[in-house]
Every structure is written in structure tokens, then in C-alpha cells.
Chain A
Amino acid sequence: MSEYQIECISLGKQYTRNKQIVNAVDDINLCISQNEMVILKGRSGAGKSTLLNLMCGLIKPTHGKVMIDNNCISELSNNALSELLLNRVGIIFQSFNLLPTYTIYENIEIALVPNGLKQRMVKESIISFLEQFNLKDKTHLLPSELSVGQQQKVAIIRTLVKQPSIIFADEPTGSVDDETAGEIIEHLMNLKKEKQVTLVIATHGNIPEKLADRIFTIENGRIRN
């Protein structure tokens, strides 16, 4: 049994682009303990997002493996992976990935639908988060009717509402103003402090490094020591 909550062992991902093989992630070994906050920093195209997607099982590695709570996620069945993503892992996407035809309320609600919770509980939980992020009056609007910062907040609420134990966040403050970025960072830090959540955040440098337990710099798909 490993003491780490997340382990990347010889992890690699290759893409073929213009008949050329590109190593987006190359032989990465990484261990993250529970309640740790890890920052993956690097320039655009360095491989941070690919590494995050590999770590949360959204894409399949070309070689190596990712262990979460001692389970190799690339060997999990589809159902077990869905279970993991539903109950233990939360993902904040760089491009928010909100469903454009769903209202703000529905965009958050879809994260709770598979849990089969009672409608009243779902509503209470969503409203509470919307209040915390000052979005209560936007409930019935579509994502396109919100500002970029507000959309990012909705994407974060959708992740937090599931109360995951691990959060993978890809540039969570990348497209928001400083004030909103501050709010988002504060929320994430509160989660780490109060709920012992593990945070893995990919950023190109707009999150204060002092907040992180460890920082890894990604360059050409590899960790630079």
C-alpha cells in the first residue's frame, strides 16, 4: 500500500501530429499525498493540461500508469472510473466546459444527477454555493449571458458541489480578473484547510507559489527539477 493518494509512474502520452510523434507527457514520476496542494507550472504547450487529463483518467496514457488511492485508473472499468469521477475527483477545466444550452442551475445540477439525491437537497446545495460566489441571481441565465469570470465561478461550483476529495484544476484563474482570481484561490484554500482536499493545479504562474506545498515545473512534457 502506497502512502500517496496520487502516483504517476513512468507516465507518458504521445500524439501523432502531421505524421510526427509528439511526446506531450514524457516519463513523469510524481507522488502527491492527501491534502497536499501541488502546482504544476509551465509555459503554454508544456504538457500541463495533458498531465492533468492523464492524472484524472480523462485520457489514456501511452505508457506508464496513474494510481489514485492505490487503484490504477487506466485499468479501471468504465463504471469504476465513472464512480471515481463522480464521488472522489473533481475537475476544473481551463475552458470551463459549461453546457451552452443549459442554465447555470442546470449546469451545476448535472454534476449531482447521477448521485440520485433528492431534488430538495440538490437545490439547497446549489443555491448555497451560488450565494457563496454571489451568483444567486444568475440561476436561470445561460452561460453565454455571464461574464468570463462568472462562467469560471460556475465551473468551480460544479466541481465543488460534488464535494470531491481530489481536485484537478487547469488554469482556474487563467481568464479572470485579479479580484475574481483572489476569490477563487480563497475558496480552494478553504477547501484544502477545512475539507482536507488534495489540490493539483496547473497554471502558468498566476497563483501565488507560496500557497503550494510543492511546485513542479513542466517543460517539454517532463518535470524539470
Chain B
Amino acid sequence: MNYVIKELRRHLWRTVASISGYVIAALFILLVLSVTRTNEKDSFGILKGTGTHFIVYIPSNTSCCVSCDSESSNGSLFAEGVFTLMLNSDLITSIKKIDGVKDAAPYLLYKLYDEKLKTEISLGGIDTVSVATKNNVCAATNIIAGKFLSDKPDEIVAEESFAVAHSLSVGDTLNIYGGKLILAGIINSGIKPGKADIYAPIENVRTILKDKLKCISPGFDMNIVLVEVTDARIQKRVIDQMKKEMNYLSVSSYNCYEPAGKVMTIIEKTSGVLSIMIFFFLIVFSTKTQLTSLMERSREIGILKSLGWSDFRLSRQILLTSLIQSLIGVTIGCLLGVLIILLMNSNNIRLFDLVKFQFQFSSIPALIILSLTGGIIASIFPMIKLYRTKAGDMINNYL
């Protein structure tokens, strides 16, 4: 060890050159990891939530929730244009147990023909806090006027298209569904599988159906289950699993989870391949550095061999030299990386004005292990060379 340190100090510029190779490699890997991880995180954040939702119901050829009131007797539970059966809330528990399901929420979707407005009006009863509701039906963030649903029993929100068609504005009162409903807000939820004309909390809709419309039904839990999965890439598996376990259910989803899943897989594999390529270049670079060092030192090493230094002792020196250089290099590289990332972030510098450099502390141990592995691998070839070459040939530089 003593001689390794002495050797490193004696050939200071050679040592600096070798270490700088590791510094550059470590710095480069750290910055690339920082960008790819951030990119991966941001892109995944967007893509993971793309097409991760679907609705579940049981189609029926007759309406199962018909009002006794003759005025409202044309109403029915429906989903995607067909009558549906009522579902029991136990189904939510069963669906939530399926691996990959992030959330499942009840949804009660009813429509009836309103004689005064001369149109069919659909009413959606939602669980206002559920993630599954947010992605399948609507969310507070979709409000464009007024406010979202509160605990008040008569409050509703209306889709923008419905409000415009009937010249409704926030605060208006609608005499529909057997009572007076106050328009608290106008919403634009976009294209969603569970879209309705107006929405109210599910408990209120249950009350409307039971008490105001006096519907006859085996239950009033829900007629649709809204499902959210954890990742677009597993959506197909979750749907298949659900159909396998509950084959009486109909599942409806937008298929955007398929391209999203493919893009995520590509991003994931690209960053993996990039990391492998950087590691490969690090090893090639380190090996070249160590081999060059051996070539430069061949005469010295030949002299030591001629004095009786064993190949094992000399190999150990080469290995230790390589490890020390890689350790110092990776340490300096990491410190420089932290400094550069901190400087860039403090000055709000972003790649393409979009990607923020985020320091990955978790990558430091991996980077140290990679560099040390690189150091070990880099010394293997010189060691083989050392074992195979006679002292005299090394002294005469016949490597």
C-alpha cells in the first residue's frame, strides 16, 4: 500500500490524468442519470395516469330502476347507452383486491326524459373524493364557473355543454328529478367514459331515486364501478383478471393505455440501455488508462520483477492503484456533479428550458460500486499482460 501511494504521488500527472478520466465518467453518468431520471419521473408521471381508468357494469335489456311516479316513469339506470343492473357495494371490495387496482368508486348514473325541458337529462351520483371518479367522470379541477359539489343536499354541477344548451348559469334553480336543484358550478370534464349532464354526490342521488322518484330497485348502491389502476402498462392485465374472476361484468375503457404503456416501456429501456452504455464506456476508458499506465511503467515493473517481486505482488499494486484512482475519481466526480446541479438549480437552468436537473442521492452508492467495478475490470487486462510477459521483455518494452 505504501508503495502504491508513493507511486501515485511520484507520477502525479499520470495519476491526475487517470483520476480525471474517472471524474469525467462519474460526472457524466451523474448528470445523465439526473436528466434521465427527472425525464423518466416527469414523463412517467404523465404517462402513468394516461388511460389508467375504466368503468365496469352489467348490461341489461330492461330498466331495473323504474319510477312508480308516472311523470318520471321513463327514467332508467344506464351506461354507455344501454340499461344496466344495480350492483352491490361488495363488488367494490372484490375489485379493490385485484393486484394493480389503485382505486374503485361507486357511480350511480340515471337518466330520465324531462317534459319541461323536452330532453333527456342524465344525473351522475359520484364519490367526490375518489381518484377513480376524477379520471372516469369529473373532478373539482374541471370547474370553469362557480364551485364544486359540497355537502348541501340540493347542489349540483352541470357540464358546460348542457349549461350552454339550456342557457343555465351558476346559481340557477332547476325543477327536475322531483325537486329543486341549485346549480353550484359549471364543469368541463372533457371526454370521460362516465360523463353525465349533471352531477351530485352519490348519497344525494340515492335519496333522489328512492325518495323523490320513488324508484323500485333491489338496491341503490350503484350501477357502475369506476376503476383506476396504478400503471398504464398493467391495465390490460387488470381487465383480463377482472373478466376472469367476474365474467358477468362488462368493461369499457379508452385504449390510450396501450400507447402510453409502450412509451413508458421505451423510456424505461432507453435509460437502462444508456446506463449500460455509459458503464461500458467507463470500463473501456479505465482499461485503456490502466493499460497505458502499464505500458508506460513496463520498464519499471520489469525491473521490479527482475528483483524478485512476484506477479501477485505487482498485480495487487496495479489493482490497488486502479481502485484508489477510481475511488478518488468517483468521489471528485460526485462532488462536482452535486455542485453543478446545485448551481444549475439555484440559477434555474433547465435542459431545453424544460427538464430540471435533479440530484439522485440514491445513485451515488451505485456509482461508487460501478466505478470500483470499473477499476477492477480495468486492471484485469494489465494483470493478464503482466503474468504473461517476462521481466526482460518488460524492461526492453517488448509488450
Contacts and interface: CB of A to CB of B under 8 A. Distances in A.
A82 B392 contact: no
Contact of B11 (A57, A78, A87, A101): A101
B233 interface: no
B278 to A, nearest CB: 34
Nearest to B393: A59
Given A101-B11, A113-B3, A59 B392 contact: yes
Which of B10, B11, B310 counts the most A-chain CB atoms under 10 A from its CB?
Answer: B310
A56 B302 CA distance: 13
A97 B303 CA distance: 7
Nearest to B10: A101
A114 B311 CA distance: 11
B391 A114 contact: no
A34 B393 CA distance: 28
A158 interface: yes
Contact of B387 (A60, A78, A86): A78
A162 interface: yes
A116 to B, nearest CB: 11
Interface in A80-113: 82-87, 91, 93, 97, 99, 101-102, 106, 110-111, 113
Contact of A86 (B308, B390, B395): B308
Given A60-B390, A114-B313, A99 B300 contact: yes
A147 interface: no
Interface string A134-155: 0000000000000000000000
A31 interface: no
Given A58-B395, A79-B312, A99-B300, A111 B390 contact: no
A85 B392 CA distance: 13
A162 B308 contact: yes
Interface string B340-365: 00000000000000000000000000
Contacts of A58: 306, 390-392, 395
B304 interface: yes
B254 interface: no
A13 B6 CA distance: 37
B206 to A, nearest CB: 87
A99 B313 CA distance: 18
Given A79-B311, A101-B10, A101-B11, A59 B390 contact: yes
Residue with the highest number of chain A CB atoms closer than 10 Å, among B307, B308, B393: B308
A97 B395 contact: yes
Interface string B360-399: 0000000000000000000000000001001111010000
B385 to A, nearest CB: 13
A5 interface: no
A69 to B, nearest CB: 16
B248 interface: no
B308 to A, nearest CB: 3
11 contacts: A58-B395, A59-B390, A59-B393, A60-B390, A78-B310, A91-B306, A93-B395, A97-B299, A97-B395, A99-B300, A102-B10
Interface of B: 3, 6, 10-11, 299-300, 303-313, 387, 390-393, 395
Query: Which 3 A-B pairs have CB atoms at the shortest separation, nearest pair first?
Result: A86-B308, A58-B392, A59-B392
